[in-house]
């Protein structure tokens, strides 16, 4: 029985699936299986089936009607056999030591239930775009549920390695959530288990054409749904709820500021400050946005 089960949900991922599978095949650690849960209408199935023989029985395929990424991941987890679960999205890839590095952390500390790391961003063609900034380590290590809830700590799905006992304890992905199902699960795990962050990139995260420009617009309602779920359950109070909303508004302000939508960014930053006045990054970004017209004029004079 394999120690690690690699979970890959797929929907119309034929273009990228071979890269994802091959990145597992190249791992320095070899005691693994892959379970692909697919609901595609493109050639994903044929890509997987063409490669099954080369994986020597370590690649299994499950097809089911389109039912969302949470249901796909849950079905693959139920079909899997490993004591360690590794997440990989079909359009992402792993670096060769990804499993080895993560397992070393789990083997070293039984208190750790979930390990995650940094990523390198790549475009649709696989060209490396760079290493995105990472939050402070205190938001990524230890009992970090509050930081996940308030968006100070970000756990990137395609880097997650977790013990099956975590899922036995808190359940799998919430199929009612559409775009925050991963944050919701990491949060529930982090309430009961310590998390550990490896401060190096161990995966390639593929950035879609719309991801950087419209992510928050499309995700906003789902983020609120996640926050409301745990506030209504009593797991989180009004203070952290306001902190989370403030950080969401600041991130939205950052997006608008970078798109040169200055007035809209100022409104988002002002809302962030009103919800969490003691958060210095929120105040700093509001002041920066308010001062941008003057800074622009000074820059043009210096040129």
User: Helix 280-302 vs helix 262-275: angle between axes, to the nearest 10 degrees?
Assistant: 150
Q: Reply yes or no on whether the pLDDT at 215 is more than 70.
A: no
Separation of first and last alpha carbons in the chain: 66
Q: What is the reported pLDDT for 292? A: 73
Q: What is the reported pLDDT for 240? A: 96
Asked if residue 148 and residue 37 are part of one domain, the reply reads yes
How would you class 55 by CB atoms within 10 Å of its CB: exposed for 0-12, middle for 13-18, buried for 19 or more?
Answer: middle
Asked if residue 158 and residue 273 are part of one domain, the reply reads no
Which has the closest alpha carbon to 220: 252, 196, 190? 252
Which has the closest alpha carbon to 62: 2, 5, 124, 4? 5
Asked if residue 167 and residue 45 are part of one domain, the reply reads yes
pLDDT, tens only, 81-107: 999 999 999 999 999 999 999 999 999
- Number of domains present in the structure of the chain: 2
Q: What's the chain's average pLDDT?
A: 91
> Which of 158, 187, 206 corresponds to the end of one domain?
206
Asked if residue 243 and residue 202 are part of one domain, the reply reads no
Q: What is the reported pLDDT for 208? A: 75
Q: Reply yes or no on whether the pLDDT at 135 is more than 80.
A: yes
Q: Reply yes or no on whether the pLDDT at 161 is more than 70.
A: yes
Asked if residue 172 and residue 82 are part of one domain, the reply reads yes
pLDDT, tens only, 216-229: 667 888 999 999 99
CATH number at residue 248: 1.25.40
Q: Higher pLDDT residue, 292 or 196?
A: 196
pLDDT, tens only, 235-265: 999 999 999 999 999 999 998 888 889 899 9
In a domain, 112, yes or no: yes
Asked if residue 249 and residue 102 are part of one domain, the reply reads no
Asked if residue 140 and residue 285 are part of one domain, the reply reads no
In a domain, 227, yes or no: no
In a domain, 177, yes or no: yes
Which has the closest alpha carbon to 148: 157, 139, 158, 156? 139
Asked if residue 269 and residue 157 are part of one domain, the reply reads no
CATH number at residue 44: 3.90.550.10
Which has the closest alpha carbon to 239: 150, 163, 173, 179? 150
In a domain, 178, yes or no: yes
In a domain, 228, yes or no: no
Q: Please give the backbone phi and psi of residue 117, each rounded to the nearest 5 degrees, phi first.
A: -150, -175
Asked if residue 182 and residue 111 are part of one domain, the reply reads yes
Asked if residue 174 and residue 38 are part of one domain, the reply reads yes
pLDDT, tens only, 9-56: 999 989 999 999 999 999 999 999 999 999 888 999 999 999 998 999
In a domain, 23, yes or no: yes
> Which of 167, 188, 206 corresponds to the end of one domain?
206
Asked if residue 297 and residue 193 are part of one domain, the reply reads no
Q: Is 258 helix (H, G, I), strand (E, B) or coil?
A: helix
Which has the closest alpha carbon to 204: 143, 158, 153? 158
Q: What is the reported pLDDT for 299? A: 53
Asked if residue 127 and residue 188 are part of one domain, the reply reads yes
> Which of 206, 229, 249 corresponds to the end of one domain?
206
| pLDDT band at 281; cut points 50, 70, 90 | confident
Give the residue numbers spanning the domain of 255.
237-302
């Amino acid at each position: 029985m394999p120690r690690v089960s690699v979970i890959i949900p797929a929907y119309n991922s034929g273009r990228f699936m071979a890269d994802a599978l091959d990145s597992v095949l190249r791992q320095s650690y070899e005691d693994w299986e892959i379970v692909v849960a697919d609901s595609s209408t493109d050639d994903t199935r044929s890509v997987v089936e063409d490669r099954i023989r080369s994986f020597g029985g370590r690649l299994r395929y499950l097809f089911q009607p389109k039912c969302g990424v949470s249901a796909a991941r849950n079905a693959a987890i139920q079909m899997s056999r490993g004591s360690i679960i590794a997440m990989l999205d079909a359009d992402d890839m792993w670096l060769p030591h990804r499993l080895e590095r993560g397992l070393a952390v789990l083997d070293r500390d039984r208190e750790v239930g979930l390990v995650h790391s940094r990523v390198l961003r790549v475009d649709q063609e696989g060209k490396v775009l760079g290493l995105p900034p990472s939050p402070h380590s205190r938001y990524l290590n230890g009992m970090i549920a509050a930081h996940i809830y308030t968006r100070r700590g970000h756990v990137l799905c395609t880097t997650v390695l977790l013990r099956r006992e975590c899922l036995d304890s808190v359940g799998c992905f919430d199929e009612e959530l559409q775009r925050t199902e991963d944050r919701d699960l990491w949060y529930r795990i982090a309430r009961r288990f310590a998390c550990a962050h490896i401060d190096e990139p161990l995966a390639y995260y593929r950035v879609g054409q719309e991801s950087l420009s419209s992510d928050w617009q499309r995700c906003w309602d789902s983020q609120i749904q996640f926050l409301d779920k745990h506030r209504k359950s009593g797991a989180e109070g009004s203070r952290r709820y306001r902190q989370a909303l403030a950080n969401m508004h600041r991130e939205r302000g950052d997006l608008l500021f970078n798109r040169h939508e200055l007035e809209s960014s100022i409104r988002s930053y002002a809302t962030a400050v009103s919800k969490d006045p003691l958060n210095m990054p929120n105040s700093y970004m509001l002041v920066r946005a308010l001062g941008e017209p003057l800074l622009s004029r000074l820059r043009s004079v210096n040129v």
